[in-house]
Amino acid sequence: MKKILDLLSEEMGQAFEAAGYEAALGKVTISNRPDLCEYQCNGAMAGAKQYKKAPIMIANDVAAKLEGSKVFKEAVAVAPGFLNLKLSEEYLLSVVKTMAADAKFGMEMPETPKKIIVDYGGANVAKPLHVGHIRSAVIGESIKRICRFVGHDVIGDVHLGDWGLQMGLVITGLNERKPELVYFDENYQGEYPVEAPFTVSELEEIYPAASAKSKEDPEFKAAAMEATFKLQNGERGHRALWKHIMNVSIEDLKKNYGSLNVEFDLWKGESDVHDLIPEMVDYMKAGGYAYISDGALVVDVKEETDTKEMPPCMILKSDGAALYNTTDLATIMERMRLYAPDEMIYLTDKRQALYFEQVFRCAKKTKLVNDDTKLQWLGFGTMNGADGKPFKTRDGGVMRLENLIRDTKEEMFRKIQEGRQMKEDEAKAVADIVAISALKYGDLSNQASKDYVFDIDRFTSFEGDTGPYILYTIVRMKSIMNKFVEQGGSLDNLQLLAAGNESEKALEMQLVQFNTMMQSAYEEIAPHKVCAYIYDLANAFNHFYHETKILGEENEERKQSLIALLQVTCRVLESCIDVLGFEAPERM
């Protein structure tokens, strides 16, 4: 199905043509005077010069051609030359019916789906997830789902930070605590134990302590660098220990991401491309791209049009060590080989803007990717506390993601218990589901690049632009449909009739924006557009609900039609929240 504005513009274009003007003038837009009309066309003004006529004359000619139109029930020419339009209810009905009959609500699928890799999450092994990770996970998951919904072939990759100094720090920290471990015995030849010599909580303690110590104690730092070197060069004990760190940490990460409905297709990381690095380095040298500067191997990525400084992209440090850039570039090389993606989308916080600019330029220049491979980076803002500074725990520490989720669930539980009669365990289960919507919607409804304030009270409210409000609206629809069934109705093959009142028509007009919205959410990588749409849709529905007797409607055909409208609205809302990465409970 075409976008509604394109359908309307086509009809309008025909009227322009019939009146002797160019069809292209018939561009229809949403009205900016909703008190006067639903849509409008300003083509008569645009054509005035070309046809040497007063705009109002052109508008009058066109309006005359629209008399009896099946699409517009009203097309009025007003000074100085606007065409004010109202849709025919019958026509709107036909569009809603087309939508309702399609699992994708009239979204046209691409002829050749693109292969897209979304690189998000980006957790660092051995470090607990903290609030700083929520945005990458939540926004990335939604972007992955949007790309999938519009018909592309999408792979989500967590791209773990699992190979750098942080691993050396953990190993050194562990060495200090448990020097007797067999992993540190260089003469040990036997098999290493299957069980990890630490728990996840121990691991989470070791990293921050080791990191702090390395800043004060140069000897400790040197030992950590040495351990990193040994790990990367394949020292047996270090590798075995690293494997344990990976297993314990990944299991914990899966649990945490899982509680946010975040799932990755690939659990790859920086370490996966270690063996590709020498080959990539040789390739970059042989191609004449990389050269030695101050001992380091670099690729120039400056361009003539640059207005700000663009440092070269460093491939290897002077001691030959690989960097964050190195593994990212090698990952691009590996992805091209394994998946040949048309596009890669990366999500990190805004501070990595320059970094990704360098990496992308380097990948293009060195032809690690094709000329038409699209490399995109989306930088997101910070989640702040009420004080406008990055969100902290009450005592000023870094908030763990787990605890943030726990607090939100508790607050949601409290709100659900307030004024609702629900058994405690049901309320708990419902609160768990709704809390995820509160967190995710609170994040996703902001344009990603902006900072936002985490306001638990607002996010968990059932009123306003919030996740719980959207879910509440869905649950309300489901409960009406359930009652309809209890009263003997069937939800199969319900026939839609043309809108019977203004609020019903307004709801339908909001519905038919769906494919336009989803297309632009995809093109602009903008989940907040999905949020804005469902907020408007939920409002339009609730307005309709207050204006219209549904189950009390006496005319049976009309009642069925109202339920059918509710049914399609509910399906659209549920698809949208699925794309945003949360779900609705049955009751709340």
Q: What is the CA radius of gyration of the chain?
A: 29
Check binding of 159 to ligand ARG (CB under 6 A): yes
Q: Considering only the stretches 119-127, 303-311, 315-323, 433-441, report the one whose residues sit in contact with ligand ARG under the rule CB under 6 A.
A: 119-127
* 376: three-class secondary structure by DSSP: strand
Q: How far is the CB of 376 from ligand ARG (least distance, A)?
A: 12
C-alpha torsion 115→117→118→123, nearest 10: 160
Tell me which residue has tokens 């690189």: 119
Q: How far is the CB of 332 from ligand ARG (least distance, A)?
A: 9
- The helices-and-strands tally (H runs, E runs) of the chain is 20, 13
Q: Considering only the stretches 60-68, 117-125, 402-410, 411-419, report the one whose residues sit in contact with ligand ARG under the rule CB under 6 A.
A: 117-125
Q: Nearer to ligand ARG by C-beta: 122 or 173?
A: 122
What's phi and psi for 31, nearest 5 deg? -65, 140
Q: Which of 438, 352, 393, 465 is nearest to 131 (CA)?
A: 393
Among 43, 47, 122, 156, binds ligand ARG (CB under 6 A): 122
Q: Considering only the stretches 97-105, 118-126, 180-188, 535-543, report the one whose residues sit in contact with ligand ARG under the rule CB under 6 A.
A: 118-126
Q: How far is the CB of 270 from ligand ARG (least distance, A)?
A: 8
CA 195 from centroid of its chain's CA atoms: 37
Q: How far is the CB of 348 from ligand ARG (least distance, A)?
A: 5
| DSSP string computed for 379-418 | EE-PEE-TTSSB-B-TTSSBPBHHHHHHHHHHHHHHHHHT
Check binding of 348 to ligand ARG (CB under 6 A): yes
* Contact track, ligand ARG, 501-520, x by CB under 6 A: --------------------
Q: How far is the CB of 347 from ligand ARG (least distance, A)?
A: 7
Check binding of 161 to ligand ARG (CB under 6 A): yes
Total of residues contacting ligand ARG (CB under 6 A)? 8
What the block records as the tokens of 42 is 């300003």
Check binding of 162 to ligand ARG (CB under 6 A): no
Q: How far is the CB of 159 from ligand ARG (least distance, A)?
A: 4
Q: Nearer to ligand ARG by C-beta: 198 or 346?
A: 346
Q: How far is the CB of 157 from ligand ARG (least distance, A)?
A: 8
Q: Considering only the stretches 52-60, 116-124, 296-304, 490-498, report the one whose residues sit in contact with ligand ARG under the rule CB under 6 A.
A: 116-124
Q: What are the residues whose beta carbons fall under 8 Å from the beta carbon of 87, sequence distance 6 or more?
A: 8, 38, 39, 71, 72, 73, 505, 509
Q: How far is the CB of 503 from ligand ARG (least distance, A)?
A: 46
| DSSP string computed for 300-337 | ----TT--S--PPEEEE-TTS-B-HHHHHHHHHHHHHH
Q: Nearer to ligand ARG by C-beta: 118 or 227?
A: 118
Check binding of 128 to ligand ARG (CB under 6 A): no
Q: How far is the CB of 406 from ligand ARG (least distance, A)?
A: 23
Instruction: Give the Cα separation of 485 and 130 in Å (integer).
Output: 45
Check binding of 119 to ligand ARG (CB under 6 A): yes
Burial class for 477, CB neighbours closer than 10 Å (0-12, 13-18, 19+)? buried
Q: Which long-range contacts (CB under 8 A, 24 or more apart) does 75-79 make?
A: 75/15, 76/37, 77/44
Q: Nearer to ligand ARG by C-beta: 106 or 122?
A: 122
Chain positions 303 to 332 lying near ligand ARG, rule: CB under 6 A, are 328
Q: What are the residues whose beta carbons fall under 8 Å from the beta carbon of 510, sequence distance 6 or more?
A: 536, 537, 540
Instruction: Give the Cα separation of 464 and 459 in Å (integer).
Output: 9
Q: How far is the CB of 122 from ligand ARG (least distance, A)?
A: 3
Check binding of 124 to ligand ARG (CB under 6 A): yes
**Which letter does DSSP use for residue 274 in this model?**
G
Check binding of 346 to ligand ARG (CB under 6 A): yes
Q: How far is the CB of 134 from ligand ARG (least distance, A)?
A: 13
Q: Which of 27, 11, 26, 29 is nearest to 72 (CA)?
A: 11
Nearest residue (beta carbon) to ligand ARG = 122
Q: Nearer to ligand ARG by C-beta: 176 or 357?
A: 357
Check binding of 144 to ligand ARG (CB under 6 A): no
- Beta carbons of 269 and 250 less than 8 angstroms apart: no
Q: Which stretches of the chain bind ligand ARG, using CB under 6 A?
A: 119, 122, 124, 159, 161, 328, 346, 348
